[in-house]
Structure 1
Amino acid sequence: MERLMQYVWQHRLLVQTDLVTVDGRRVSVIDPGRLNTDAGPDFFNAKVKIGDNLWVGDVEIHVRASDWHRHRHDGDRAYDSVVLHVVDKDDTQICRSNGEVIPQMRMACSPEFHCRYHELVDRADIDLPCAREIPELSSLHLTDWLTSLAYERLYAKAGHIEDLLKQYAGDWEQTCYVILARALGFSTNSEPMERLAMSLPLHFLRKHSDSDVAIEALMFGQGGFLEKAPKDDPYVATLDREHRFFAHKFSLKPLQPLGWKMARMRPHNFPHRRIALLARLVASDSRLVSRIIKSEGVDALRGIFNEPLTGYWATHFTFGPASERSYECLSRSSTDILLINVAAPLMMAYGTLHGDEELCSRAVDLLHDLPSENNSIVTLFGSAGIGSKDAFTSQALIHLRRNYCQPRKCLYCRLGHRLLAAKARR
């Protein structure tokens, strides 16, 4: 409740004509002040007119006036600068440490505001509580917010890459290898894929880049797939033999179970083929980062990840019987997801760290040029009237859903703020 009151004060959502102190003096809020996120009064340097006097100082907000004493502000000189105490319930008079009475005001806000706030935040049974009011918002306001969200998500991904880069002492190729592995997990197996890549450093694998079998043996062996694979499969026997050799030679420690998921999954999406593709990309290209940042256009970037699987994995989804025909490893939509989650963030991170604004712009352009993702989040917002025409927009919607809607941070969402502000002033 107190956070909601702070929000109302900060964004001037009070009904100004109803503002009076508990002793009847008119209050005008000239400047609500700066929100304090540390110890001390809630708002610094506010300007309020109380009666005929202009006050410049701090504002403290409580649900009950008696919270002032409960929080022991009455003996704290840090609160002597408070010029107005804003409360929901006026249950006591409060004073400074020297005994001076501090002006106190009950927060006047539309009852509809409180009702709508609780509808947005507390209705866990509704996926998108604001859906019926979204069509009322202007397209300009909506576009502006989605643009900010898309950039927020892209910069967050670039920031993650920068963190990995520090972890790997500035090794761009190792960093790219790890984010590529995670992206190839396609959400369902992203964590196991990332942990597998981290357990097998790229420089170690590159020592055996002349042998696809050696790299696959290391990956499938460390991933725990060879233990349950059919022993009568000749290729499994070869990989198992190679893995045992490397495990003994380099003292490789087996990983804890990585929690691979395959239930209710189409064979095309089994992790086996994703690992096989990762092994193929590692073996075939030692300068993946350079290729990504130098490639221009969607088709050129797609070509980097469209590495065909040959040999055993051309006709297998997993270990065991072969398929009747061969399949491409990645569909067009799956390849585009790699461009969204690997290429664009990598370009943004590289451009940011090297001061290359043109590369940063290309990262954004890439998202505009890619088609929209097709998932449950995009569908949810589409049913509420927010369509998605490209990956730039779909990434914005994913960020909105995961970082604002699901944690119910409606107060920090521009759409939620717009809707709440309209209710507060009615």
Structure 2
Amino acid sequence: MSSESARVCWPVPASLSRPDGPSCSPLARSKIRQGKSMAVSETSITSEKRFSDLWERSLELRPDVVDGDGNSYEVIFPGVRNQAAGPDFRGAVLRRDGRTFGGDVELHLEQSGWRAHGHHADPAYDGVVLQVVLRLARNSDHFTGPPTATATFPERLVESPSLPEISPSDLEALGIQRFFAKSAGFRLELDAGVSPDQVVYQGMMEAMGYARNRKPFLALSRSAPLLLFTQLRDEPRRTAEFGVFAALAAAGNVLERITPPERGQIRRVASRLGACSRLSGHDWSMFRVRPGAGPVNRMRAIAFIIAAGLGESLSERMQAVFECGGANGLVRVVADAPHIGRGFALVIASNVLLPCLYAIHPSDGIISEFRKMPSPPSDSVTRGIAKVLGERIRPANAAQHSGLHALAKSRSWPGRN
């Protein structure tokens, strides 16, 4: 994909105008008209992390972003800081020559960083619409890559442009909409003939991958379906748990991440169950993945949950837990598994189990429990938006937390193209 094709026109609200617009205070407008930016010194930047910290505050700091031909770029939205592999910022919105466009932004101290880091050969960077650097190369005319501009960050008495006001009730409404959208996705699976138990299992498996490994975990749930484990229903609990884990580890091709003594036993058990390798070991990402959150430990966690109820329907079991203990009951079932913890259990219960149960048996009680659930821990998306909003929004419940995610993907939010 070329940088031109990645650019997307974006209608920008008046409230996101330049700082000399109506959202700026009279004092700041006066200083700008007089050409007094009150610049003390240009910020000293010695690392890409420091560069990223400053770029994330672009709405506040208003950097001068200029390319080698003297064209200026206005930062409407710096994008959401990317914690995974790929460009530094996702979904930025920029304006040049009166044209507004969106895409990804990559930061480097030197222009040569683009090729030095191998981005020119990595499809993950095809959506980069601007490389922002501190220093252009002397032969920048011969540079092959996305448009490149330098950024300077003077200290200015300029207020950041005001963003649309977002109230907690607005966030909650967005979160409820996102809940219904997730539930509708599960309903499509059911309508396509997938069993309720398999739908719940697939949803939990995908969630186990969190941000980095969602796709391989979803693929694994289909190559090692829940029905495979019914062979273990008459086994003792610990034996069944190891059997489920062995089947997942073999089908997921993660045996090289397991110590040799256990590896041989896994192969024997997986062979008896008929589990075979369907994924490549390269399908799994370990980039910025905590050891406890890696695929092997997450497979152990889901094996614990599945083995606890092999003699009964998974979906009916979760429904019974909900009817007895509400959303907190579902959280406890997941949190009891090894390598999970309450925070991640909240994520799974609010994003998978409740929407799944609603798809199977819609009820107002499920929505009510969703609104009462505590907020899951903050993540890169919610932290990024909170910084842009000036920490004005702190989700009080799961619905508001989900609303922040919905806002990040909404066309009413700058940076979504």
TM-score by length of 2: 0.55
Q: Within 5 Å, give how 1:12-411 maps onto structure 2.
A: 121-122=101-102, 132-134=161-163, 137=165, 142-143=167-168, 145-167=170-192, 169=193, 171-209=195-233, 210=235, 211-227=240-256, 229-231=258-260, 233=261, 235-247=262-274, 252=276, 254-257=278-281, 259-285=283-309, 286-294=312-320, 295=322, 296-309=325-338, 329-352=339-362, 357-359=363-365, 362-383=366-387, 384=389, 385-404=392-411, 405=413, 408=416
Do 1:371 and 1:390's aligned partners in 2 also have CA atoms closer than 8 Å?
yes
State the shift of 1:330 in Å.
1.5
Tell me, which stretches of 5 or more residues in structure 2 are unaligned?
1-8, 15-94, 107-158
Tell me how far apart the structure 2 counterparts of residues 220 and 193 of structure 1 sit (CA, whole Å).
11
Q: CA 1:293–1:363 in 2, change beyond 3 Å: closer, same or farther?
A: farther
Distance 1:183 1:394 in 2: 16
Query: Does the C-alpha gap of structure 1 residues 379 and 263 become closer, same or farther in structure 2, counting only changes over 3 Å?
Result: closer
RMSD (CA atoms): 3.7
Contact 2:250–2:277 under 8 Å retained in 1: no
Percent identical across equivalent pairs?
18
Change (3 A) 1:214 1:377: closer
Q: In structure 1, how many angstroms separate the alpha carbons of the residues matched to 2:414 and 2:228?
A: 41
The answer to whether the Cα contact below 8 Å between 1:372 and 1:389 also exists between their aligned partners in 2 is no
Q: CA deviation at 1:375?
A: 1.4
Deviation at 1:243, TM superposition (A): 2.4
Q: In the alignment, residue 386 of structure 1 is paired with which amino acid?
A: I
* Matched residue SS, 2:288: coil
Given the two structures, how large is their TM-score scaled by the length of structure 1?
A: 0.54
1:200 deviates by: 1.2
The residue type paired with residue 160 of structure 1 is G
Per-residue Cα deviation, 1:141-189 (whole angstroms, up to 9, x for no partner): x45542432122111110111122133x251111101101011111221
C-alpha distance in 2 between matches for 1:153 and 1:200: 29
Given that 2:257 and 2:296 are in contact with CA atoms closer than 8 Å, whether structure 1 keeps it comes out as no
Query: C-alpha displacement at 1:387, in angstroms?
Result: 2.9
- Contact 2:301–2:340 under 8 Å retained in 1: no
Q: Which has the larger radius of gyration?
A: 1
Other structure's SS at 1:218 match? helix
Equivalent pair of 1:298/1:366 in contact (CA under 8 Å): yes
Whole-angstrom CA distance in 1 between matches of 2:98 and 2:372: 36
Deviations 1:20-47 (A, max 9, x none): xxxxxxxxxxxxxxxxxxxxxxxxxxxx
Shift of 1:284: 1.6
The answer on whether the counterparts of 2:382 and 2:401 sit within 8 Å (CA) in structure 1 is yes
Q: Match of 2:286, SS? A: coil
Label 1:121 to 1:339 Cα distance change in 2 as closer, same or farther (>3 A): same
Cα distance in 1 between the residues matched to 2:100 and 2:175: 23
- What one-letter code is carried by the residue in structure 1 that aligns with 2:248? M
Which structure is higher in RCO with an 8 Å CA cutoff and minimum separation 6?
A: 2
- Give the paired residue count: 266
**Structure 1: gaps of 5 or more residues:** 9-114, 310-328, 410-426
Are the aligned partners of 1:149 and 1:399 in contact in 2 as well (CA < 8 Å)?
Answer: yes
Change (3 A) 1:245 1:387: closer
The alpha-carbon distance between structure 1 residues 344 and 124, as it changes in their structure 2 partners (threshold 3 A), is same
How far apart, CA to CA, are the structure 1 residues paired with 2:97 and 2:403? 23
> Secondary structure of 1:156's partner?
helix
Q: Tell me the amino acid that sits aligned with residue 364 of structure 2.
A: E
